[in-house]
Amino acid sequence: MVILLNKKQFLKELRAELKQLQKEDLDPIMEDFEEHFEIGLSKGRSEEELVESLGTPKTIAKHVKADFLVRQAEDKTSFINFSRAFFAILGLGFFNLVFGLGIFLGILALLFGLFVAAGAFVFAGIASIISPFIEPFVDNLSLGGMNPLAVFFFGIGLTAFGLLIFIADGYITKEFFHMALKYLKMNIKIVTGVN
């Protein structure tokens, strides 16, 4: 049996569903819905009719939450914020995201690998800078017959190279998350038809 809610009940239920949101985030959303009712009522439509056209408060709350989490991830891009947005949209029934998840994690692993490589270059570089100085005092440490000064300069070069990879990888990762968020947003837009 379908029980049609009136405006007051609908807004009350929606507010209850969205109770996790902060007041300053929730108020504009509730105002939007109230406005929607006002416009609809002024056009002669009944409250029940408007409620029916909107869908259940639970479904709407899911969309609103997903949309909110995507915005939050856009403001502060982090893996945690991104995952929250991702699972919220997955909860809306966008199972196409599951296929995308494989590609997403693959690229993420590649970017992580680059970070590790950058770290290894920096580590090798610092070791090369230090080793010419400690080589005479440490047994089993060999520069492979290379000139100690050459090893020292190669070390500086390697460290700088590692740091450059690190910076470049940081930019690429950030850009990648932005692109992934755009894709998530596209999924929400398909259903709601709004930005």
**Residues interacting with other proteins, by CB under 8 A?**
144-147, 149-154, 156-157, 160-161, 163-164, 167
Tell me the two tokens of residue 72.
Answer: 């939050």
Cβ atoms of 67 and 188 closer than 8 Å: yes
Cβ atoms of 132 and 152 closer than 8 Å: yes
Cβ closest to other proteins, residue 153 vs residue 176: 153
Cβ closest to other proteins, residue 103 vs residue 146: 146
Cβ closest to other proteins, residue 100 vs residue 157: 157
User: Nearest approach, Cβ of 129 to other proteins (angstroms)?
Assistant: 10
Write out the H or E segment, with its range, that includes residue 27: helix 23-42
User: Nearest approach, Cβ of 76 to other proteins (angstroms)?
Assistant: 18
**Number of neighbours of residue 157 by Cβ within 10 angstroms:** 14
User: Nearest approach, Cβ of 157 to other proteins (angstroms)?
Assistant: 4
DSSP state of 146: -
Cβ closest to other proteins, residue 20 vs residue 147: 147
Tell me the two tokens of residue 134.
Answer: 């400690």
How many helices (H) and strands (E) would you count in the chain?
7, 0
Cβ closest to other proteins, residue 100 vs residue 170: 170
The Cα 141–Cα 150 span in angstroms is 16
User: Nearest approach, Cβ of 6 to other proteins (angstroms)?
Assistant: 54
User: Nearest approach, Cβ of 60 to other proteins (angstroms)?
Assistant: 41
Placement of tokens 């056209």 in the chain: 53
